[in-house]
Structure 1
Amino acid sequence: MNQNITTSKRLIRNTKNFLTIKYYSLFYKIQNKQNSFYGWGKKESGLKAISLAKKQNSSFVLLEDGFIRSMDLGIKGSPSFSLVEDKKGIYYDATSESDLENILNSYDFNADEALIQKAEEAIDLIKKHHISKYNNAANISDDFFKDEGKKRILIIAQTAGDASLEYGVGNKFTTKQMIDEAMNENLNASIYLKIHPDVLVGKKESDIKREEIPKECIVLDEDVNSISLLKNFSKVYTKTSGMGMEALILGLEVVCYGLPYYAGWGLTLDKQSCARRTRELSMEELFAGAYILYTRYYNPYRKRPSDIIDVINEIVLQKKKAKHEKIYDALALGDSHIRVFEYGLLSKIALGKDIKTLYIAGATARGIKNLNSQTQSQNRFLVALEEYNYNKIIITLGEVDTAYIIWERAEKTGVLVEKMLNESVENYYNFLLKLQSYAPVIILSAPLPTLKDEQECNDTVHAIRRTVKASQKERTQLTLAFNQAIKERCKAHEDLQFIDLDSSSLNKESLVSSWLLDPKNRCNHHYCRKSYGLLLAWKLRNVI
């Protein structure tokens, strides 16, 4: 059996969340079987992996941190969100081909609309929340810059001995040359020099000495969030820094003196060329290739394989936690039935949880797709998702659909009930997929119809619902079908947990059990709050 092996015990420790790799012991040396040798970039373990693979006529895989790495610096031990694997070379080595370069040269981005949409979503989140490779630094203060109205140019210094400078042929130019050319090309602009974070914390040396920096150049020697910093500039000069890619994401002009992975695709002003890079790309295509297709993700805070959207949302949450902002155990969303979580006996006493509730009367599963619906439910829910901090999401929708709306529309338009049921299910399911990118989602089955056929009431809601001809039995069967369809779709998603209340809510006649009805108001289309609360407390006791 082919084994993944390495000569680096440190690599095994650092990649355990992503890969299973064995240490290259005497046992493997004696066996001399076909193995895949793993190493870290073009460092010692990587070069050793290449050498061993050549000797044993086997294969090698080089690893590196991804482009959204962690909350804090890697040298401080902050757990990693991402990893890249390359069987040809490594992305920062422009002297030979890499898997990333091949992806960018050949992938059919035009045929993968979903990929580009995901890339665009991630880019928007990066811009909005200032997501960078490291996410420990504060945003630059609003009053930092004193040169209002002047064009600002940023030069990015790197660390001395950076592998990307050697393999990205950035050492052909000095940082002093970059500064001199930037000053000559932008005579009336303010010129700033950004020092690398590892230099600021004393872990490494810079690729430019202090005495080489012209006095006209303003040195940025504070560790600030790179996206928030870059938003204040119009043009960036770099050798091979990853900040150059972040500048492209923000739409800045980027001059490259080396050959970083993002150069040579028609997006940068390049001082050198790479004959292997034969294609022009959009920024979204470049981003999709590097940040999505080339990179694998893991969420170390939730201990699960992940993707770029989940990772960004986790970083946003961890940033808020670091600021000690209030974090709810759950955010409860839904139609008026979700108000059961406002019942103190349920949330704070029975569950012992702090739950924030947002209900929208009349919200429907069918209408959740429509941004211009009368209730504006999707817009209002999405605003709440951005406004509050929470660990999980609870949601219930569908009762308005199956107990009234579907029947009323069917009678008026002649459209089949089954067709409208499917529309409600699909619209709700697609919204649930969107929700899971924010946090794990708990879906409560829609409550069963409570209004009996022969019941006469004077309240407005009952009067409206009595206009449909469907019996309580028919409305109940439709609700059960709706819940079952949502339950089946949730099974394929780890972060969509469906809570089935139907078996605990039905009586022998397959109608809602009397113990769930409001004893003080038999015309109430909501469950008795106390009974419903006890049922949920039982079902959710080990879930939230």
Structure 2
Amino acid sequence: MLRRYVKSIKKAVRRLQNRLFSGRKILVLGDSHCGIFEYCFDHGLLVPHLVNCEIVAGATAYGLNNDASQTGAWQKFERALRRFADFDVVVLMLGECDCSFALLKKAERLHVSAESLIDQSLAGLRRLVLKVRGDTSLPARRIILVGAILPTVDDCAATRQENVLRREIRTSQGERTRLVLSFNEKLRQLADEMQVGYFDLTAQTMNPETGLVDGRFVASADDHHLSHPASASLWARGLLNSL
């Protein structure tokens, strides 16, 4: 109860700072990884900006092509856009679930490479960008695409994941990392094409010797998220530099 009260007080203070110092209002749409921006907001790393995250666990960019996807992400994001219509920045953070299991499972069923399915994932994100913009050619909102994180689950821990789909993946961490790099490169190209912002933390979180995620940023052996305490300042800096 006390913790909830303190959090409410902090949010009230953040809203006041937002008004007093003319901060931006930022709506983040994404999977569970976008919760890092709530962490940054709660810890005062994004002052004076106001942040609200619409988190749909397990959501994929690929799934945005289907209004009736299993997670219902498209409809939930639509509702959030209406609910926070006065927010002038929209951040889209999807792709980790695509690169960690969704595209891999689909590629296995279709007998194609996972990389060949990236464009279909980007079609979902393109659709969401167009939704944010509406019918106008000059969007009133600043849109920022955020790249997928480097895979944190190593080959030994893959079978211990809570999500059954993740447990079924036998693709190595190195292969999953290469898929993320390809995904992010194409996502960057999409951002340039659609004239929206883009950033990722690939360079900052990769171990140059192994070509994999640096262990300093791994939350735990069984966690597919980056450590919030270790990576928060990097995420905050990336977002602030993109506004």
TM-score (norm 2): 0.81
Decide which of 90, 94, 102 is 1:405's aligned counterpart: 102
Residues 542/401 of structure 1: CA separation in 2 closer, same or farther (3 Å cut): closer
- 2-side partners of 1:440 and 1:464: how far apart? 34
What residue identity is the alignment partner of 1:349?
G
Does the residue aligned with 1:349 lie in a helix, a strand or coil?
coil
Counterpart in the other structure of 1:429: 126
Among candidates 439, 446, 450, match of residue 148 of structure 2? 446
Secondary structure (helix, strand or coil) at the match of 1:419 reads helix
In 1, the alpha carbon distance for the partners of 2:193 and 2:110 equals 34
Deviation at 1:489, TM superposition (A): 1.6
Matched residues in 2 for 1:379 and 1:456: separation? Answer: 31
Query: Percent identity of the aligned residues?
Result: 29
Distance 1:479 1:459, change over 3 A: closer
Given the superposition, is the C-alpha separation of residues 457 and 419 from structure 1 closer, same or farther in structure 2, using an over 3 Å criterion?
A: closer
Match of 1:375 among 68, 71, 75: 71
Superposition map of 1:126-145 within 5 A? none
3-state DSSP of counterpart to 1:447: coil
User: How far apart in 1 are the matches of 2:240 and 2:42?
Assistant: 10
> Structure 2 residue aligned with 1:526, among 222, 225, 228?
225
1:390 to 78, 87, 92: 87
Per-residue deviation, 1:457: 6.0
Name the residue aligned to 1:504: 204
Counterpart code for 2:51: I
Q: 1:415, CA displacement in angstroms?
A: 3.3
Among candidates 161, 171, 191, match of residue 470 of structure 1: 171
Distance in 1 (alpha carbons) for counterparts of 2:232 and 2:133: 25
How does the TM-score come out when normalised to structure 1? 0.37
Q: Measure the CA separation in 1 of the matches of 2:194 and 2:42.
A: 26
Q: For each residue in 1:106-127, what CA deviation from the matched residue of structure 2 results, as whole angstroms up to 9, or x when unmatched?
A: xxxxxxxxxxxxxxxxxxxxxx
Structure 2's unaligned 5+ residue stretches are 1-18, 135-139
In 1, the alpha carbon distance for the partners of 2:42 and 2:91 equals: 12
Alignment-mate amino acid for residue 501 of structure 1: L
Runs of 4+ in 1 over 6 A off after TM superposition: none
User: Structure 1 stretches of 5 or more lacking a match?
Assistant: 1-323
**CA separation in 1, counterparts of 2:149 and 2:241?**
21
Q: Return the offset for 1:435.
A: 2.0
Q: Which position in structure 2 is the counterpart of 1:536? A: 235
In the alignment, the residues of structure 2 paired with residue 486 and residue 523 of structure 1 have an alpha-carbon distance, to the nearest angstrom, of 27
User: Which residue number in structure 1 is paired with residue 8 of structure 2?
Assistant: none
Partners in 2 of 1:474 and 1:460 — Cα distance? Answer: 21
Distance 1:405 1:510 in 2: 23
Whether contact under 8 Å (1:410, 1:416) holds in the other structure is: yes
1:428 shift after superposition: 1.7
Residue 46 of structure 2 corresponds to: 351
Deviations 1:490-517 (A, max 9, x none): 11333x1001321112112111111211
Measure the CA separation in 1 of the matches of 2:159 and 2:169: 15
SS of residue paired to 1:470: coil
Cα separation, partners in 2 of 1:533 and 1:486, compared to 1, 3 Å: same
**Aligned 8 A contact 2:99 2:180 in 1:** yes
